[in-house]
Amino acid sequence: MSDRMFAQTCPNCGGICPQQAETCKYCKFSFAGPGRFSLNAIVPRRRSLKFALIALAILMIVVLLVINILRS
Ligand SMILES: [Zn+2]
């Protein structure tokens, strides 16, 4: 009964894995259930989006500087 609270069943192979495991220890299946796993999946996307916006801003500044240098 208490084991059920700290274990999850792999939907791929049916193996019982620890609740905190992100992947199945038998078949390496990734547990993509609702809750903390979906939250972890969102955070890297936000980071990459922020990085893309910063890179785009730097690129815009560089392009503007190059245009100013070429015009002068
Ligand atoms: Zn499995």
pLDDT digits over 13-28, tens only?
999 998 888 889 999 9
Q: Return the number of other C-beta atoms located less than 10 Å from residue 41's C-beta.
A: 11
pLDDT at 67 over 70: yes
Q: How confident is the model at residue 31 (pLDDT cuts 50, 70, 90)?
A: confident
What whole-number distance in Å separates Cα of residue 18 and Cα of residue 27?
14
Position 3 scores a pLDDT of 52
Question: pLDDT above 90 covers what percent of the chain?
Answer: 39
Q: Is the pTM of this model over 0.75?
A: no
45 CA distance to ligand 1 centroid (A)?
A: 26
Mean pLDDT, residues 26-52 taken together: 71
31 CA distance to ligand 1 centroid (A)?
A: 9
How many Cα neighbours within 13 Å face the side chain of 22? 6
